[in-house]
Amino acid sequence: MVLDIFLGILQIVLFPGIVFCIGLTFLLEWIDRKYYADLQNRMGPLYVGWRGILQPFADFIKLMAKEDITPKAADRKMFTATPLFSVVVPLLALLFIPIANITGVLSFQGDLIFILFLTTIVAILIILAGYSSMNRYSSIGAARAGLQLMGYEIPLTLAALTPAMIARSLTITEIVQYQAVAGMSILLFPSMIAFGVFIITLLPELEKIPMDIPEAETELVAGWQTEFSGKKYAFFRLSNNLELLLGAGLAVTLFLGGPYGIEKLPGLTALDLVIQGNIVLSTVWYTVWFLIKTAIVVLVITNLRALFSRYRIDQMVRGAWRYLTPLMIGVTAITMLLSAVAPGLYPVV
């Protein structure tokens, strides 16, 4: 009993919980920056560690040591609380993602809805942060963040629910296990469209370049982040990285088969049994596969970031309502229809 509690705390704090996730975000940021630089014919981080691998961590430490200024006009409590909450909320959501095991550290019936709810909370925290700093750039940035949320929220949720409908479950663990039997849901018919929409809607959620409208550097200085400096800014950066991990992890979990590797392919049953027999081996095996898949999703996002120029807010919202939302409603309808008409298409596990 005591050992169980101790192990549980260890899981939450160390692996695959808070410390591991934060370390992983720095790694993903490095991959993102390095690949972005390579696409742009630059070098990227170079000095700290092996090929600059520790640069994101060094940036974080440096920002933590910088002067932290709170504007006189700002709403002090909100201004201090939002950076903290924006780190805590994605960390909480990450505990539900299966990283080192086929279930997350935390799990309950219908936890997918809870995670989607948490992603919305992060967006609302951004709006609050922008308004609480009482700056004109921040206010405009926050208003843009709110408008964006209106645009991408519905397609994002519907896209995340498509594999859930195929698996006939709202529990992340069950969706992952379903994919272990029926194959990655990206390979199933309407779900591959949902994957595309999911990646596109991740861009405004993460404020990556074609949709980095709320913080548009050349227009609004730094948008809603303008007044944040020092520790608070470091926390927002960390929060954004955690969101990147969360978004990529969610994409992996829902569409790319979660932490399962090649062992579920037909003919490799022996390998599967070996892995499941050894707890250390299975932890390493699943973590590595999760890492590889997450990195692939991050590279896709980076590629999109390098390819396009920024949309205007009206173009983004119009595009989301004109194309993405109807498309996702259609995909949802088709999924429901197919699972009713042709039950053999999505086998019941």
Partner 1 sequence: MAELTQIPKTEELKNEYEIVEEIKNLLGSDLLEYKVPRVNRVWITVPNGKHYKVAEHLYKKLGVWFISTVTGLDLKDHFEVLFHLLDMQRKVEITIKVPVSKDKPELESLTDFYPGANLYEREVYDMFGIVFKGHPNLKRLLLAETFPKGEHPLRKDWTPDKWDPKKVQLIQRKPILPEETSDYVLQVGPQTPTLKEPMNFEVIVDGEIVVDVIPHIEYNHRGLEKAFEQRTFIQGIYMAERVCGICSQAHTLPYCDAVEQLLGVQVPPRGKYIRTMVTEFNRIHSHLLWIGVACHLIGWDTMFMYSWRDREVILDLTDLVCGSRVTAAINTIGGVRRDITDEQIHKIRKGMDILEKRTKTYKKIVLEEDTLLKRAVGVGYLNPSYLKAMSAVGPVIRGSGVKTDVRYDDPHFGAYDEIPFNVCTSDMCDIAGRLVVRVDELIESINIVRYILDHLPSGEVRVKVPRKVPPGEAVSHNEAPRGEVFYYIKSNGTDKPERVKVITPTMANLLPIIESCKGHYIADFVLNFGSIDPCIACMCRTTFTDISKSKPKQWIWTDEQMRQYGIEWYQNRGWRR
Given the rule CB under 8 A, which residues bind partner 1?
39-43, 46, 51, 136-137, 139-140, 143-144, 209-210, 212-213, 216-221, 306-315
| CB 278 to partner 1: min, Å | 36
Smaller CB separation from partner 1, 175 or 209:
209
Smaller CB separation from partner 1, 112 or 213:
213
Helices marked H in the chain — which ranges? 2-13, 18-39, 55-65, 76-94, 111-132, 136-167, 172-182, 189-206, 217-220, 230-255, 269-277, 279-307, 313-319, 325-341
Smaller CB separation from partner 1, 269 or 315:
315
Smaller CB separation from partner 1, 41 or 109:
41
| CB 302 to partner 1: min, Å | 11
Smaller CB separation from partner 1, 138 or 169:
138
Q: How many CA atoms lie within 13 A of 86 on its CB side?
A: 30
| CB 124 to partner 1: min, Å | 20
| CB 36 to partner 1: min, Å | 9
Tell me the C-alpha distance between 312 and 28, whole Å.
28
Cis peptide before 71 (omega within 30 of 0): no
Query: Which segments within the chain are labelled E, that is strand?
Result: none
Residues near 269 by Cβ (< 8 Å), separated by ≥ 6? Answer: none
Measured CA angle at 123 (ends 296, 184), to 5 deg: 30
| CB 137 to partner 1: min, Å | 8
Smaller CB separation from partner 1, 46 or 349:
46
| CB 240 to partner 1: min, Å | 16
**Phi/psi of residue 311, nearest 5 degrees:** -80, 160
**Type of residue at 247:** G
